[in-house]
Amino acid sequence: MQTHLLGYPRIGSNRELKKACENYWSGKIPLDELLEVGKTITHQNWKLQQEAGIDLIPCNDFSYYDQVLDMTLTVGAIPERYQEIALKKYELDLYFAMARGLQKDGLDITAMKMTKWFDTNYHYIVPEFQKNQEFKLFSNKIIQEFISAKQAGINAKPVIIGLLTYLLLAKEKEEGFDKLDLAQNLLPVYIQILKELENHGAKYIQFDEPFLALDLNEKAKETYQFIYAEIRKQFPNLKFIIATYFDGLKDNLALATSLSIDVLHIDLVRSPEQLDEVLNIIPNTLSLSLGIVDGRNIWKNNFQNSLNIIKTAIQKIGSERVFIAPSCSLLHSPFDLNSEKNEDILSPEIKQWLAFAKQKVYEIVNLKKLASENPDYNVLQALAENKKAIENRKTSTLIHNQDVKNRVDVTTKEDAQRNSPFNVRKETQQEVLQLPLFPTTTIGSFPQTKEVRTWRAKFKKGKLNAEQYDTLLKQETERTIRWQEEIGIDVLVHGEFERNDMVEYFGEQLAGFAFTQNGWVQSYGSRCVKPPVIFGDVHRPNPMTVYWSEYAQSLTQKWVKGMLTGPVTILQWSFVRDDQPRSLTCKQIALAIRDEVNDLEKAGIRIIQIDEPAIREGLPLRKSDWQNYLKWAVEAFRISASGVEDATQIHTHMCYSEFNDIIQNIADMDADVITIECSRSQMELLNAFADFQYPNEIGPGVYDIHSPRVPSKEEMVELLKKAQAVIPAQQLWVNPDCGLKTRHWDETEKALIAMVEASREMSKEF
């Protein structure tokens, strides 16, 4: 039996890599210093695993920005626009230019696109391929990392994105070819890398092929067969591990087990039911790597359960053919639970239920020891402690709240149903709200200036007392209300100045949520997020936003829109408990948000927005699982929104997402108004709504809030005309693409004044 990791977090225990990269980008430190930080982190990671006793330690899991971009540089798939700098710059500068764009010395080159890594919150840089894409070994990073590990006394296992997965992650930049046809061209570069690694003494190679756990077409399946057969031909002695994760092999099971490789890794956290099938079909020549420790969540492993799995596998195929590992790379876990020292933030009772990356390494090692013939005293002690923690978590009063469970049980279909259908509500709402055609609004946040952020920091440190902080926020809110009135916005917002983050703000006020001090996870490049931990039954002890909405509404005769984050988005952007289905946790959050919606209505707020930007990213990886997810996700939204009277108008908001394949479900959410990000697609995203004859109201974003650029009235009129050509005017709203919190006031002022003029110009025609 052997232990291994698929990859380790690389941002550093104190986010050293983040800081070093940002300092390098802003010219504060030289390249050498950045390289030194990178080297220190890789060596610390290796040492940690070595000391813990991991058998196969990965290398090349380190990256200065993104492992997919590393591969792109390795195989020399450098898009045309960087060719000029490719010759002049250091390799790492070219690399960062591809990741972040380059605006310097008269150059203005755009960055490569970024998108989500499967269903995680990690984002990778999308490779761009031309029809006649050529590949050549360009960067030596993989080989160098292997040599560096060797010098540290470790025969490491290089982690390489599998050839098929690399191709399937890419985007075809011209028409008329299939990226799978590039496999032939790419293969020689992979062969060359493997040759060098073999020459330097590599024994095991890990190919990450998560696409084997996704829906594949016939051509992709054939290409898998072909590529791995070719690789085997050239390297009869290297041991190849194929890592699959994030879902089960399902219909690709026969394919995966027939590949000419040595070890197959499967994700038994996401798909525990696949174990028996795999064990039944696995050929004698293949070993099995059991992904049993959750690489994407923060819960302590249940040793007894894992041991049962390991023993089942050993019985069937023998211990020599069993590997144990986390389900996926630990990249998606925070670094070290031991850095959580503040008991006021994370209580000891909750802390004992958790394991971060470092703790997961020890879990893997302990599981191997426990599964051996004669586990020693220390490890038996660890098992006893594990059992205690698991038992404590099962029964803890912190987690279980009978009232919440009862309330979920008595929630019915009616609770997810507004009193009247939309056409009836629309009339009632119009009578009350009296809004003009093309009503203007914004998505919620106004600029979070340096001052606003300083107040919050000072308040948290105790340098401002609650009253002082409150006064400052009120002043900022009032200024924002007055300004919106002045320029003639129809539906105002309070500005969200009291919020740090749209999930954290709610999590901090809901029961069942915990927070960490240092639980950072890489989101993209140097950007990290610190997701809340949903550990228990969720409910809302007190109103969360009524104070601010009520205050803002008291300042003006115009409508102020209440602003909430929806249940699916709160779920999606948190670490979620694994002791009950996600759908159930989501329903609990939905009921808590429903309470808030109802209280806002009671306080006189007639328009309430429930943001659900993450609903699409929660889609399962396999199409066959979509409808089940959409059913409970849409229901959760509806539960949160349906406690109000017909006259109360419910909005929702979603950032950029393709709506085509889920438009029926978006319609099923039955929000009175949906605002979407639309300007960057030149209103193309609206077509899904138009084709579907979407009945409710829509605010397609008329300008991009990601850039400081101020749009002209004319271009917004242009976009509105495009929208109006496919959606009746009576259904349209006018708003920016998303919240304005990252913008400056001067841009915001100019842009919104022009936006109001654009709306007025449109109304003139009706």
User: Judged by CB under 5 A, does residue 20 bind Zn ion?
Assistant: no
Q: Is 655 annotated as contributing to ligand binding?
A: yes
Question: Of the candidates 38, 127, 444, 525, which one interacts with ligand GLN according to CB under 6 A?
Answer: 444
Q: Is 668 annotated as contributing to ligand binding?
A: yes
Between CA 698 and CA 705, with CA 703 as vertex, the angle to 5 degrees is 110
Question: Which residue number, 346 or 676, has a Cβ lying nearer to Zn ion?
Answer: 676
CA distances from 182 to 208, 608, 722 (A): 18, 50, 39
- Give, as ranges, the residues between 586 and 645 that touch Zn ion (CB under 5 A): 613
Q: Which residue has the tokens 């809901």?
A: 510
d(CA 132, CA 174): 10
User: Judged by CB under 6 A, does residue 738 bind ligand GLN?
Assistant: yes
Q: Is 738 annotated as contributing to ligand binding?
A: yes
User: Judged by CB under 5 A, does residue 698 bind Zn ion?
Assistant: no
Q: Which does 351 bind (CB under 5 to 8 A by kind): Zn ion, ligand GLN, none?
A: none
Contact (Cβ atoms closer than 8 angstroms) between residue 295 and residue 326 = yes
Q: Is 463 annotated as contributing to ligand binding?
A: no
Question: Which residue number, 209 or 611, has a Cβ lying nearer to ligand GLN?
Answer: 611
Q: Is 611 annotated as contributing to ligand binding?
A: yes
Residue 613: CB minimum distance to ligand GLN, A? 4
Question: Which residue number, 389 or 738, has a Cβ lying nearer to Zn ion?
Answer: 738
Residue 739: CB minimum distance to ligand GLN, A? 2
Q: Which residue has the tokens 């008595």?
A: 410
Give burial (CB, 10 Å; 0-12/13-18/19+) of 764: exposed
Residue 734: CB minimum distance to ligand GLN, A? 16
User: Judged by CB under 6 A, does residue 653 bind ligand GLN?
Assistant: yes
Active site residue 706: yes
Residue 444: CB minimum distance to Zn ion, A? 9
- Give, as ranges, the residues between 498 and 527 that touch ligand GLN (CB under 6 A): 502
DSSP 3-state of 601: helix
Question: Token digits for 477?
Answer: 């809110």
Give burial (CB, 10 Å; 0-12/13-18/19+) of 621: middle
Residue 610: CB minimum distance to Zn ion, A? 13
d(CA 170, CA 174): 12
d(CA 232, CA 229): 5
| Residue 2 bridge partners (DSSP) | 323
Q: Is 496 annotated as contributing to ligand binding?
A: yes
Q: Which does 444 bind (CB under 5 to 8 A by kind): Zn ion, ligand GLN, none?
A: ligand GLN
User: Judged by CB under 5 A, does residue 655 bind Zn ion?
Assistant: yes
Question: Which residue number, 655 or 662, has a Cβ lying nearer to ligand GLN?
Answer: 655
User: Judged by CB under 5 A, does residue 564 bind Zn ion?
Assistant: no
Question: Which residue number, 278 or 655, has a Cβ lying nearer to ligand GLN?
Answer: 655
For ligand GLN (CB under 6 A), the number of binding residues is 13
Question: Of the candidates 655, 702, 717, 758, which one interacts with ligand GLN according to CB under 6 A?
Answer: 655
DSSP 3-state of 99: helix
Binding mask 457-496 for ligand GLN (x = CB under 6 A): ---------------------------------------x
The crossing angle, in degrees rounded to 10, of helices 31-52 and 16-25 is: 170
b/e map 385-421, b = 16+ CB within 10 Å = ebeebbeebeeeebbebeebeebbeebeeebbebeee
Strands (E), 552-661: 559-565, 575-576, 607-611, 649-654
| Cβ-proximal residue to ligand GLN, closest one | 739
Residue 169: CB minimum distance to ligand GLN, A? 25
Binding mask 714-753 for Zn ion (x = CB under 5 A): ------------------------x---------------
d(CA 199, CA 221): 30
Q: Which does 369 bind (CB under 5 to 8 A by kind): ligand GLN, Zn ion, none?
A: none
Contact (Cβ atoms closer than 8 angstroms) between residue 121 and residue 523 = yes
Residue 493: CB minimum distance to ligand GLN, A? 8
d(CA 56, CA 49): 9
User: Judged by CB under 6 A, does residue 571 bind ligand GLN?
Assistant: no
Q: Is 443 annotated as contributing to ligand binding?
A: yes
Question: Which residue number, 12 or 444, has a Cβ lying nearer to Zn ion?
Answer: 444
Between CA 220 and CA 258, with CA 133 as vertex, the angle to 5 degrees is 25
Instruction: Give the count of alpha carbons within 13 A of 111, CB side only.
Output: 15
Binding mask 607-626 for ligand GLN (x = CB under 6 A): ----x-x-------------
Q: Which does 464 bind (CB under 5 to 8 A by kind): Zn ion, ligand GLN, none?
A: none
| Cβ-proximal residue to Zn ion, closest one | 738
d(CA 305, CA 288): 18
**Which of the residues 123, 265, 332, 706 is marked catalytic?**
706
User: Judged by CB under 6 A, does residue 443 bind ligand GLN?
Assistant: yes
Question: Token digits for 673?
Answer: 């108004």
Q: Is 528 annotated as contributing to ligand binding?
A: yes
DSSP 3-state of 125: strand
d(CA 559, CA 607): 7
* Nearest by Cα to 193 from 151, 156, 144, 265: 144
Q: Is 18 annotated as contributing to ligand binding?
A: yes
Handedness of CA 553, 425, 417, 623 (dihedral sign): negative
Question: Of the candidates 157, 165, 739, 755, which one interacts with ligand GLN according to CB under 6 A?
Answer: 739
Q: What secondary structure, in 3-state letters, does 452-505 show?
A: HHHHHHHHHCCCCCHHHHHHHHHHHHHHHHHHHHHHCCCEECCECCCCCCCCHH
Sheet holding 2-3, edge to edge: 2-3, 322-326, 287-293, 263-267, 239-243, 204-208, 157-161, 58-59
b/e map 197-217, b = 16+ CB within 10 Å = beeeebebbbbbbbbbbbebe
Question: Which residue number, 516 or 735, has a Cβ lying nearer to Zn ion?
Answer: 735
Residue 155: CB minimum distance to ligand GLN, A? 46
Q: Which does 741 bind (CB under 5 to 8 A by kind): ligand GLN, Zn ion, none?
A: ligand GLN
Contact (Cβ atoms closer than 8 angstroms) between residue 589 and residue 567 = yes
The DSSP line for 417-443 is: S-SS-HHHHHHHHHHHH---SS-BB--
Q: Which does 371 bind (CB under 5 to 8 A by kind): Zn ion, ligand GLN, none?
A: none
Q: Which does 270 bind (CB under 5 to 8 A by kind): Zn ion, ligand GLN, none?
A: none
Q: Is 21 annotated as contributing to ligand binding?
A: no
Residues marked as catalytic: 706
Residue set of the binding site for L-homocysteine: 443-445, 496, 611
Name the site residues for ligand GLN (rule: CB under 6 A).
443-445, 496, 502, 563, 611, 613, 653, 655, 738-739, 741
Residue positions forming the annotated binding site for 5-methyltetrahydropteroyltri-L-glutamate: 15-18, 116, 121, 527-528, 573, 617
Which residues of the shown chain bind Zn ion in the complex (CB under 5 A)?
Answer: 613, 655, 738
Binding residues: 15-18, 116, 121, 443-445, 496, 527-528, 573, 611, 617, 653, 655, 668, 677, 738
Residue ranges of the annotated binding site for Zn(2+) are 653, 655, 668, 677, 738
